[in-house]
Structure 1
């Protein structure tokens, strides 16, 4: 039985998460991940992969990078997990409220568009 690797290359990390090398380097430039450097090669550890997964999940949920940074940094804080979870729950509430408002706005726009379309078709029928 072979054991799982303990380090990964940028190519392996990028492929695993479905992102480009440039994306991985961007998160490194922002200090969100900190791979070990061996000469010019980046060596990613489990911590980097975990952080990259959190970054990408946060992005999918629409969180800005600064909020994602705060969440990740809280994980390293002394109270760590509890503080992180309390903060994340607050952010989830805000994000949900924002998305629900956007959904209402989209539904209103679709209804308005439907009404406008109906009036245009009536006017077109009158011209026929």
Structure 2
């Protein structure tokens, strides 16, 4: 059975060992321990997959609790239909949140544009007044 060190996984996924330890602290991965006083972390193929799922969830912008739910589903009995429906539900909620953020950003950009135009107009008035005096 393949095993991995924290350094190997950090290189493979282009993240820091500290990030991996953080995910461990959050309960998303749980390596076994070896060596004197259990100091060395040893990651199984299963833990590697958990890390991969965690990073994929992070890339999608999911919260740690949503990611933890997905990792737990991965470990649950293989009722694929239930897992897929649950994942689709998580994605739908996340999509709705992102779409709301996009709407909010569009409103803010519109306000910025209006302020820029007003400031530009006022600057032209100030410059004309300077030139006329």
TM-score normalized by structure 1?
Answer: 0.89
3-state SS of 1:34 partner: coil
Pick aligned residue for 2:8 from 8, 12, 19: 12
3-state SS of 1:73 partner: helix
Name stretches of at least 5 consecutive residues in structure 1 with no aligned partner: none
Q: Which runs of 4+ in 1 moved over 4 A?
A: none
Q: State the number of aligned residues.
A: 124
The structure that has the greater radius of gyration is: 2
1:31 aligns with 2:27: yes
- Of structures 1 and 2, the one scoring higher in RCO (CA 8 A, sep 6+) is 2
CA contact (8 A) 1:35 1:45 kept: yes
Q: Distance in 1 between matches of 2:54 and 2:76?
A: 17
Partner in structure 2 of residue 44 of structure 1: 43
3-state SS of 1:111 partner: helix
Which is further off, 117-126 or 29-38? 29-38
3-state SS of 2:29 partner: coil
TM-score normalized by structure 2?
Answer: 0.86
